[in-house]
A = this chain, B = another copy of it.
Amino acid sequence: MRQSTLFHNTLRESPSDAEVVSHQLMLRAGFIRQLAAGIYTYMPLGRRVLRKAEQIVREEMDRAGAQELLMPAMQPAELWKESGRYSQYGPELIRLRDRHDREFALGPTHEEVITSLVTNEINSYRRLPVTLYQIQTKFRDERRPRFGLLRGREFLMKDAYSFDTDWKGLDRSYWNMFHAYQRIFTRLGINFRAVEADAGTIGGEGGTHEFMALADIGEDTIAACTCCDYAANLEKAESGTTDIPDGQMISDDDTEVEKFYTPEIKTIEQLVQSLQISPMDIIKTVVFIADDKVVAVAVRGDHEINEIKVKNYLGAQDIVIADSEALAKISGVTVGFIGPMDLPFPVLVDHTVAHMTSGIAGANELNHHVRNLYPIRDLELTHVGDFRNVTEGEKCPRCEEGILKFNRGIEIGHVFKLGTKYSEQLGATFLDPSGKEQTMIMGCYGIGVSRILSAVIEQNHDDNGVIWPTTLAPFQVHLIPISIKDDKQTELAQKLYHLLLENGIEVLMDDRDERPGVKFKDSDLIGIPIRIIVGKGAEQEHVEITLRKHNVKESLHVDDAIARINELVKSIH
């Protein structure tokens, strides 16, 4: 393609609302343009990259034996009511009414539609298993769309769904998709980790993994072992239960719990300062309302409560921290002075607290705390478990050799064992070999196709612009005649341009009448991996090849260029 005719602009400045590098570069390099908050147009260069991502996803899905179909974006609300998600999904679900006042949702995901479809089409075990996928535009009305394609309201997704006769089959389907995802993200040149994750609100029992592209701007924290391959989202990462370090203070059976006066001392920090102790000596207690029950959770002062773990332990749909008003009503205690002793509702005690020998905690009385609290003696310990986030540097819960290191990650894929959540609600059954009706066992598998572009740029850029991996680059070669007013250069560039096209190499030729500085700056921004410069050497039919990744120049005769380019296309990533 000739750049003079390309519908494309680079921007000198990045718009002020672009907070992260990938968003800034996509706008500056002219890959996308915003139409409304979280809603983007893919410009010709961006469309090319997106199509390459699509194609890699499609090829690996096909190779894994998944079958492509295409479901509608407009979904009747009735289906969502059947599954119960119409009310659960909240304002992220875009709703509309047609001219006959019938309710529809714009699909953020397609569990309902696919389950209902498979229910109608399949009724015998002979037709299972089956995995179906589509690459399709999804809609989600994010509360705060941001980071460009990372959190948009209209985005391209690959969603797949598997249907099996039993849980063993689901396991096979699940790992089949898991391995397809590994191949996809490897081909896309992404530095990723597959991490154990929490099942979240989409529902269902069993395992789930998130595929995370490592990036500082990631909204999720990943805890990964330095020795074994254990990796999990912070919300899911397990804390070890043995060998737990304790605070400095030690109680024994003779040292009784003692209440003391702590006027206006309401926070861990205030306690630490006024008593000159470590947060490890403190027991932090927080009261939650879980669905409609009240519970307290006690973790050590230096730890954070993991609400997902609490929620899962209780089997609750929804938990919220009791605010000061609710707390006073429930327990008669003011915020800042709540403690785990003698509460009229269950107390969930984290392993670390259960191992403490002497703790300071709220006394459940205004302006008072207690000291010498020895949980094994002073608390009931009916509910001991893992209720906190792991901390960086603690021992791996699996191998117990390595320690956990933290990384930030961008979720680019998700594999999920749905089990029977949707098949039960929507009646997806089949007849087994004995003629008995059984419920299908489902899995769902998503890849944020448009999001991949952001993740790749976060991992592949420098101060001057994007550095595309060859598999995703909008073109493989950027051919730049330094001056199109120089006949020799123009002639040689034209010759090479046609040679490249004839050899099936995708080439963008910068035939614009611009200064070399402008051309190189734009070329750096766009980030095509291989650059061929036609300059002074044109007289001798020499051209220069450089890679966007590292600025090593290589001068060679035009007759050798094609062979060299073919080599480079294959070798660089």
Contact = CB atoms under 8 A, between A and B. Distances in A.
Interface of A: 5-7, 9, 33, 35-36, 39-44, 46-48, 50-51, 65, 67-76, 91-92, 94-96, 98-99, 102, 104, 106, 113, 117-118, 120-122, 130, 132, 134, 137, 139, 141, 143, 153-154
A217 B42 CA distance: 38
A122 B5 CA distance: 12
A141 B99 contact: yes
B41 A139 contact: no
A92 B76 CA distance: 17
A5 B104 CA distance: 32
A39 B74 contact: yes
A83 to B, nearest CB: 15
B71 A7 contact: no
27 contacts: A5-B65, A6-B67, A7-B69, A7-B118, A33-B120, A33-B121, A35-B71, A35-B74, A35-B76, A36-B72, A36-B104, A41-B71, A41-B113, A43-B69, A44-B68, A46-B70, A47-B68, A47-B69, A47-B134, A73-B139, A73-B154, A91-B99, A94-B96, A96-B106, A98-B153, A106-B106, A137-B137
Q: Which 5 A-B pairs have the closest CB atoms?
A: A42-B70, A96-B96, A91-B99, A44-B67, A39-B72
A104 to B, nearest CB: 8
Quick one: copies of this chain in the complex?
A: 2
Nearest to A123: B9
Contacts of A69: 7, 41-44, 46-47
A507 to B, nearest CB: 14
Contacts of A117: 33, 35, 41
Nearest to A139: B74
A99 B39 contact: no
Given A5-B130, A7-B67, A9-B121, A41 B72 contact: yes
Contacts of A70: 41-42, 46-47, 50
Contacts of A94: 96, 98
Given A35-B76, A39-B72, 11 more contacts: A5-B130, A7-B130, A35-B117, A41-B113, A42-B71, A44-B69, A48-B68, A72-B154, A74-B154, A99-B143, A106-B106
A51 B9 CA distance: 31
Contacts of A51: 68
Nearest to A2: B65
Contact of A36 (B40, B42, B76): B76
A39 to B, nearest CB: 5
A2 to B, nearest CB: 10
